[in-house]
């Protein structure tokens, strides 16, 4: 019986190279590559983001996401298998030979100096920039009120996040999400939402508090996380709300840090949210006790 070796196809078609071959122009922005979305014919802005893990996502009108095969399917049509075939699918005889094992990137070791296995260690100058961004937000009551009004959050929630510090504003007044691994900046330019890493690499937002929590809500983005925090979920002192830096982010390197925690995967029920939830449930199933799924605009599931 023949089957398509999707992993080999992905490995043989690096996403950035595929985009170049398709005429999709990308530029480096923080820890990612950005460009105009080829799916919805974006004219202004750079909503199309290619991440270092081989995934992409449009943060604009179409909101699609995936890997190199998904992108070929979106651009060329047909089924996922047909898209893989167009990329030069390599078949393997699954009943006659052992599956090919691809070389994996070594998992960083947990050390005394890096107990959270951070993908990026900020320099002192970068840490100061994060602190300054948080202090700038705390000092601007107008900025706090503006964010609270736009998002329907309590002003005190925003102040508390700035005190963490997990939230701030840059010197040019852009909203900054402050991670232990860097600073992610969000703004709007010509009506298009812009997201970039000022410095650092993607991790989990507010994950540094994991050891203090018995229950952890994992959201697919910071705004969903703040909405849950704003609802009072953390008031018991034992619950923590964290966020993926993007729906395509993979947490495999950090799953052991969830050991023994009750984990609720809280994502939307759209395509990106469902894919993120699927990955999280599979990755965390061996570690979280118990593991549950909460659709932010839908139902609630238990995964044992």
Q: Where exactly are the structural domains of the chain?
A: 2-93, 124-200, 207-302
Could you give the CA distance from residue 94 to residue 187 in angstroms, rounded to a whole number? 48
End-to-end CA distance of the chain: 34
Tokens 């990755």 belong to: 283
Query: Which CATH number fits the domain 2-93, given the four candidates 3.90.580.10, 3.30.1370.140, 3.50.50.60, 3.20.20.70?
Result: 3.90.580.10
- In this prediction, residue 2 carries a pLDDT of 52
Could you give the CA distance from residue 127 to residue 199 in angstroms, rounded to a whole number? 10
95-124, pLDDT tens digit by residue?
334 444 434 444 455 676 788 889 999 999
Could you give the CA distance from residue 70 to residue 64 in angstroms, rounded to a whole number? 9
CA 205 to chain centre: 9
- In this prediction, residue 164 carries a pLDDT of 92
- Lowest-confidence pick of 39-48, 99-108, 135-144: 99-108
- In this prediction, residue 125 carries a pLDDT of 94
CATH fold of the domain at 207-302: Dna Topoisomerase Vi A Subunit; Chain: A, domain 2 (3.40.1360)
Does position 291 have pLDDT exceeding 90, yes or no? yes
Between 157 and 299, name the one with better pLDDT: 157
Could you give the CA distance from residue 40 to residue 64 in angstroms, rounded to a whole number? 10
Q: What is the 3-state secondary structure (H, E, C) of 157-192?
A: HHHHHHHCCCEEECCCCCEEEEECCEEEEEEEECCE
213-239, pLDDT tens digit by residue?
999 999 999 999 999 999 999 999 999
Does position 259 have pLDDT exceeding 70, yes or no? yes
Could you give the CA distance from residue 66 to residue 82 in angstroms, rounded to a whole number? 16
Same topology for domains 2-93 and 207-302, yes or no? Answer: no
CA 195 to chain centre: 12
């Amino acid at each position: 019986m023949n089957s398509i070796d999707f992993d080999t196809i992905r490995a043989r078609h690096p996403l950035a190279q595929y985009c170049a071959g398709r005429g999709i122009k990308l530029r480096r922005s923080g820890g990612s590559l950005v460009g105009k979305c080829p799916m919805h014919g974006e004219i202004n802005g750079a909503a199309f983001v290619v991440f270092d893990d081989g995934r992409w996502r449009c943060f604009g009108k179409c909101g699609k996401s995936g890997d190199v095969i998904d992108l070929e399917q979106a651009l060329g049509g047909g089924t996922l298998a047909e898209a893989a075939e167009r990329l030069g699918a390599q078949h393997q005889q699954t009943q006659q030979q052992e599956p090919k094992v691809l070389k994996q990137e070594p998992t960083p070791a947990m050390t005394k100096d890096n107990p959270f296995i951070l993908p990026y260690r900020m320099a002192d100058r970068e840490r100061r920039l994060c602190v300054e961004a948080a202090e700038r937000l705390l000092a601007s009551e107008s900025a706090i009120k503006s964010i609270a009004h736009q998002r329907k959050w309590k002003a005190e929630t925003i102040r508390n996040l700035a005190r963490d510090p997990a939230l701030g504003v840059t010197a040019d007044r852009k909203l900054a999400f402050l991670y232990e691994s860097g600073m992610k900046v969000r703004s709007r330019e010509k009506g298009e939402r812009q997201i970039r890493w000022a410095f650092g690499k993607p991790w989990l937002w507010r994950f540094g508090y994991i050891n203090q929590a018995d229950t952890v809500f994992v959201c697919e983005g910071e705004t969903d996380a703040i909405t849950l925090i704003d609802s009072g979920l953390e008031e018991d002192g034992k619950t923590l709300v964290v966020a993926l830096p993007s729906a395509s982010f993979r947490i495999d390197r950090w799953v052991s840090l969830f050991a023994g925690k009750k984990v609720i995967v809280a994502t939307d029920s759209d395509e990106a949210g469902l894919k993120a939830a699927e990955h999280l449930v599979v990755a965390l199933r061996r570690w979280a006790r118990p593991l549950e799924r909460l659709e932010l605009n839908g139902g609630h599931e238990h995964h044992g």
